[in-house]
Structure 1
Amino acid sequence: MKQNVSYKDSKTLLNKGTGFLSGYTHSLNPYTGCSFGCSYCYVRQMPVSLFRHEEWGDWVDIKKNAASLLAKELHKAKTKGKVTIFMSSSTDPYQPIEYREKITRSLLEVMVEDPPDFLLVQTRSPLICRDIDLLQRLHNHVRVSMTIETDIETIRKQFTPQAPPIQARLQAVEKLVAAGIPTQVAIAPVLPSSECFPYKLQHIVNRICIDDYFMGDGNAGKRTEKIGIKEKYSELGLEEWYTPQAYQKVYTRFLEVFPKNQIYISQSGFEP
């Protein structure tokens, strides 16, 4: 797939945490756009995508001045009080372009030298394991949240064909946990999965976050509905998985395997 890649200087990098991320002082996006192009991504319905006039997933803007800008903004923010950062809210910080550009790594290097009070790194990419050395230096000021929406690879390919395979993500979680990095698995959004899903995670992670379109897309599921995901479920004969109650099926399955205090629902699972 040919991708439109641009290099741009950003005027700001740390944005105020609002809405679903109101528990954070700031959100941080190393890139604009995301080549994973997940079919259900709510960002498709946000201005950054709607006004672009290009298909979501076909373009990425690289913030070439990101590290120097973060160093200035982070220092300034810390003089005003506690700083908690969600990385990232509208892109994946470890999408494929990161292999080459290392923008996310450069931001972690800044934060290792001048740590925020808390950093959550949200990704679905095993590439994050490359930066274990930096994540370790952040100690308990960081948590990695690895998206694993399903344990069924054929389902993953239907909804996120450009994203990393499930098995690779499971292996990445194992490596992160073995390295002593606080890590959770985010079943977000809930996709159809098997009864075995909890058992596949049981021995590799002790924190689970379950979220769905209706709680987590920032507009009670309306953004997701506008991009045609409901129709996709119907085409696949999976209508029972596209309801506000569907997440409860997954929650019940996980309660049979994990202690209740290790399972978080929606926003609470992403809080600092």
Structure 2
Amino acid sequence: MTKSISNAEIKALAEKAVNLISADKDKEVVDTLRPLLDTKCPFLKLDLLGKETGGAGSSQPQKFFRSFDEIIDYNAMGGFVVVGQALICFLPDNFEKVMEKSRKYIIKGDVWYACDIIGERCLGQALIDYFDETLPWIAKFLKDENRWVKRSAGVAIHFFSKRVLDEQEKTRKLLKLIEPYMEEKQVDVIKGIGWGLKTIGRHHPDILVEFLYKQIKLKKNISGLMMKKALTYIDEDKKLKIENITRTGIRAYQSKAILNTHKHCDGGWFWDKYSAFPYIGCEWGCEYCYLRDGKYNPHKSSLDPKVLNFADPFSQYIKVKKNAPELLRKALENMPRDLIYLDNYQPVDFRHQYTRKMLKVCLDLSFPVFINEKSRMLLRDLDVLKKINKKTYLNVCWSIITTCDDKTRKIFEPNAPPVSARFNAMKKLAENKILTGTVFMPILPFIYDDEKNIEEVIKKTKECGGRYVLDGGLTLHGYSKTHFYKVLEKYDPDLSAKYNRIYGNPELLADHTAQVHEKVLEYCQKYKLTPHIPRPVNFYPKKLQVNKKTAEKFYLKAREMQMSGKGGHREWAYRKAAWALDDLEESIEKIYRDKGISGVMEIKGIGKSLANKIENFLIKNEKEGHLHP
């Protein structure tokens, strides 16, 4: 059976299906339809099949519902179209049953197209034909815990709005239903509700603008994606006005600088020498983020009184450096090539896409890039990322504290994308031969530091193509500590005393960190993952690459001492030696060849013990053929 099947053949097929349903031969119904469902048949043909089949079933609905269950269980996209259209025929006499079946089939499909097909045909048509009866069901679907069921309500509103163009009062009633969900953070739900708003805006722009102004006045925390969809068909003047006063307090300003140049690279951790971020603040609003501390937090009321309008300025008041890409290009043109840290894939970037533009700057100027992410939005720019990876170096790590998308995770990462989406994105990058892995930090004490969670995170990283796991503890200073304790008190009041005990005693904290780190090392070894990020050196001048690799040994030694609670003087000796090696403008190989170990000891910060280690490293590399002539 092909896409060229005629309407007459469709009607004959429907008649055969009806006869089988009437004879209680549900399995044979699926067998009869399978050739059509297994092809890319036009939806118009499938809709006709559904209409013809459903239209003959009003006298025996239960038999038809059983057959519909079988068709849905076959799990073909075309099956959802056929059943969705057929269900419409049962609305007059079996309204509640159709609504219940719609929800069941959406959950069963567990994919966007099943949601949208049923949402348009069943819920959308029900709104058109039985508006008052359907409104309570739309409200019920919006409250549902299942993301696809919630999304389908927005899809239904879209369908109604594109078919019914002269019902302003009904449109206002639908917006009233949507209003409590304008702060939705789940991206699939946002897309559904945003689709409904977008279509309302196309046919009733004044009503939508009035509605959006009300939400802004109420200081609703509307995601950038939802606002972008809602404003699709709004004229530019009104769109600009709304964007300038939108709920997040997104404020564009002309920045004087964007590039941060660090005195030393982030040795043993991310290895970046530079960093640049186009946005100030973070809409993900993770409760443990150390950037909330006054030392880093730019949202001070003394500098900008507008922050007083927000319950959490850090996540609700985003400042946009509108000249960020141009500033980055100008800054990097005069800098030696080294690793730059970029990461700002948050909802505001849907609108501005500055992260992509900054990635293109790095690509043009051949700068290697490190990214630490929580959002699969990054995959939008996979084309640019692949080019950077091929030209210089790219490492994308994923900030992950657990494998579970449960209530606990959402307490500490209230707005962040699902962990499952992060792992899926990791897998996609690995498939494209891009270095990726997990930044397992902060590992929250007494919440996510148990052995089961540690193993699951490391195991999942391995399964998704990650090549390393970098662990770290929770930093609590200043306001970041005050804020986190408020959240901790709501989560489990008994934990505050435990946190006070270990964070009030440096030795206890060091012991706790060491025990957790030991478990991370154990499971990294079990799953054959590197417990750190290997240092990239291929983009440095060739004569300096051995300096960087030698320094890497010392940086990693210092980090291990820090994580194992054995820091102090020896840790800093290794770190300072690494700095000295990084700062050398002459190859350590040449120094050793010309002057021997005494020449190595002339380098500031390197005594006899560390010089011996450098000598051993150079000799080993020479034997293995790694030294340059």
Q: Which range, TM-score by smaller chain?
A: 0.7 to 0.9
AA partner of residue 439 (structure 2):
A
Counterpart secondary structure, 1:171:
helix
Aligned counterpart in structure 2 of residue 7 of structure 1, from 249, 252, 260: 252
Of the candidates 345, 363, 370, which is equivalent to residue 94 of structure 1?
345
Where does residue 115 of structure 2 map in the other structure?
A: none
CA–CA distance in structure 2, aligned partners of residues 153 and 203 of structure 1: 18
TM-score between both structures, scaled by the size of structure 2:
0.37
State the shift of 1:60 in Å.
Answer: 0.7
Separation in 2, partners of 1:109, 1:259? 34
Is residue 69 of structure 1 aligned with residue 327 of structure 2? yes
Determine the structure 1 residue equivalent to 2:382: 132
**Residues 190-218 of structure 1 deviation map (CA, whole Å, 9 limit, x = unaligned):** 143424332222222111111112xxx4x
Q: Percent identity?
A: 25
TM-score normalised by structure 1 residue count? 0.82
Matches of 1:249 and 1:151, distance apart in 2: 20
What letter is aligned with 1:48?
A: N
Q: Is the 8 A contact 1:36 1:57 kept in 2?
A: yes
1:4-53 CA-partner distances (Å, limit 9, x unpaired): 10111111111122588475332111211111111111111134335144
Task: Give the structure with higher Rg (CA).
Answer: 2
Question: In the alignment, which residue of structure 1 is the partner of 2:339?
Answer: 84
For 1:202-217, what aligned pairs fall within 5 Å after superposition? 202-204=462-464, 205-213=466-474, 217=475
Is the 2:439–2:470 contact (alpha carbons within 8 Å) kept by the matching residues of 1? Answer: yes
**Equivalent position of 2:411 in the other structure:** 158
Residue 105 of structure 1 is matched in structure 2 by 356
Query: Residue 227 of structure 1 corresponds to which residue in structure 2?
Result: 482
**Structure 2 runs not aligned, ≥5 long:** 1-220, 222-246, 302-306, 504-508, 534-554, 560-629
5 Å-filtered alignment, 1:128-207, equals 128-139=378-389, 140-154=392-406, 155-191=408-444, 192-193=447-448, 194=453, 195-204=455-464, 205-207=466-468
For 2:376, the aligned partner's letter is P
Q: Is the 8 A contact 1:30 1:62 kept in 2?
A: yes
> Does 1:264 find its partner at 2:532?
yes
| Larger strand percent | 1
RMSD over aligned Cα atoms: 2.8
Q: Which residue of 1 aligns with 2:298?
A: 49
Return the alpha-carbon distance in structure 2 between the equivalents of residues 179 and 47 of structure 1. 35
More relative contact order in 1 or in 2 (CA 8 Å, sep 6+)?
1
Q: 1:224 to 1:189 in 2, by over 3 A?
A: farther
Look up the equivalent residue of 1:259 and give its one-letter code: K
Structure 1 counterpart SS, 2:334: helix
Deviation string 1:52-99 (CA, Å, 9 cap, x unpaired) is 44521011111111111111111011xxx33321224xxxx1011111
Structure 2 contact 265–272 (Cα < 8 Å) conserved: no
Gaps of 5+ in 1: none
Distance 1:180 1:73 in 2: 30
Kindly indicate whether the alpha-carbon contact (under 8 Å) linking 1:132 and 1:179 is maintained by their aligned counterparts in 2.
Answer: no
Are residues 1:59 and 2:317 paired?
A: yes
8 Å contact 2:401–2:457 — kept in the other structure? Answer: no
The separation in 2 between residues aligned to 1:163 and 1:249, in whole angstroms, is 28
Counterpart in the other structure of 1:30 = 278
Deviations 1:125-168 (A, max 9, x none): 11111111111111251111111111122232010110001111
Q: Please, which moves more after superposition, 35-44 or 233-242? A: 233-242
Give the Cα separation in 1 of the matches to 2:265 and 2:291: 13
What letter corresponds to residue 60 of structure 1 in structure 2?
A: I
More displaced 10-residue stretch of structure 1: 118-127 or 14-23:
14-23
- How far is 1:171 from its partner? 0.5
User: Within 1, Cα distance between the matches of 2:338 and 2:459?
Assistant: 36
Shift of 1:184: 1.8
